[in-house]
Amino acid sequence: MKLTAIVISSGLLAALAAAPAVADDVARDRRDIREDRREIRGDYREIRQDRRELRRDYRAGRADEVKDDRKELREDRADRRDDVRDLHQDRRELHRDRADR
């Protein structure tokens, strides 16, 4: 009986000691998610701007600038894709950390 009480109390102490670390992980994951969302919003803004420039240059018949605008648009879409991937990874980490609580 005494051994069982020691094991149970040791387990409770370990869980209580880990609680602040888990809370810090959850807070960090939430902060990362907010940052990723800001980056994604910025990426959408850049994509809209690139599309406007592309339309303007296409209508004006500037073929060399159209080519550059398309390249910028591809790069911005790739950035957005990477940021969305980061957001999904951060959400998975948050759910994992919450489950560890």
Domain residues for the domain of 11 are 2-100
When the pLDDT of each residue in the chain is averaged and rounded to a whole number, the result is: 84
pTM (global) more than 0.95: no
The C-alpha angle 7, 8, 13, rounded to 5 degrees, equals 100
Sign of CA dihedral 63, 65, 67, 70: negative
The tens digit of pLDDT for each residue in 13-32 reads: 455 445 666 678 888 989 99
